[in-house]
Amino acid sequence: MKKRNAHPKTGLALKVAGLACASCVLAGCLGVGFATAANGVSHDMQTFGISETSTQAGASGSAESLSDKANDASATATSRLATASTRNISKGVAAIEAEEEAARRAAEEAVRIEDQAHTDAALANRAAQLSRDPGAGLTGLSEVDWNVSKVDFVSEWSQRIDNYLAGSPLAGYGAAFAEAAWENGVDPRFSPAISNTESTKGLNCFRSHNAWGWMGNTSWGSWSESINAHVQGLAKGYGYTISLANANKYCPPTYEDWYAKTLAQMELI
């Protein structure tokens, strides 16, 4: 009886021990399974993360590439517009410069034509006087050069006449005499020299600003006005330059003396 009772207890203990071992094995397997599963999930998550990062980097690179291309295209377009604008401006500037150059040449040609007309008129006046009064060519005076521009003519004779009139009431009016001579085609020395013979270069005038002894109530309000009037009067009434015939017309009583004195003054200018 005792042996039969002892055997069942031993079997029960073995069963309990086996069940415990099985539980441990099962727990271990489950632990390994969970760990493996966890590692798998972690690996998958890591793999997806890398792929996502790579995808984001690729997308970012593509966006940057598109942005660079857009910037390059914009820069190219801007450069082309700038080049086109520069060309348009250059064409405009060239057209303006060409127009200004044409206007300048036209103005110069107009001045040249006008100067030539005055030169021709002066030479014609001289020739006309010589044809009717040969004595005008016997004065011994140096010839006046009319084959120059008005600017050069006035510049030369202004200085020469100013030097002659220095210290007199007519000082500084060389340009007025020179310009009047140019405009009327008269020897530029004629009127200044007469002013010395008649009034000592404007010092002894019997009428206002009348330095040439013109009779009557002949007077003027300024030297410039009287100079222009006198030179114009010489051109119309006497001709190009001094001569014995002109002296006899200007101052009949003592024309020879008048001629000698006036000619001597012209030689000083």
pLDDT at 244: 97
- For 149: left if phi > 0, alpha if psi spans -120 to 50, otherwise beta; the answer is beta
Residue 46 lies in a domain: no
Rounded CA Rg of the chain: 60
Residue 2 lies in a domain: no
- What is the token pair recorded at 116? 């030539």
pLDDT at 225: 97
Residue 73 lies in a domain: no
Q: How many domains are there within the chain?
A: 1
Residue 216 lies in a domain: yes
Contact between 193 and 269 under an 8 Å Cβ cutoff? The reply is yes
Quote the pTM value: 0.65
pLDDT at 67: 64
Tens-digit pLDDT profile for residues 112-129: 999 999 999 999 999 999
Residue 180 lies in a domain: yes
Residue 125 lies in a domain: no
Residue 29 lies in a domain: no
Parts of the chain with a pLDDT under 50: 1-55, 57-59
- What is the token pair recorded at 109? 């040609």
pLDDT at 68: 67
For the chain, what is the total number of helices (H) and then of strands (E)? 7, 0
Residue 114 lies in a domain: no
Q: Domain range spanning residue 249? A: 133-268
DSSP codes of every residue in 140-172: -PPPP--SS-HHHHHHHHHHHHHHHHTTSTTTT
Rounded CA separation 159/152 (Å): 11
Give the contacts of 119 (CB within 8 A, at least 6 positions apart): 146, 147, 148
Domain of residue 172, CATH code: 1.10.530
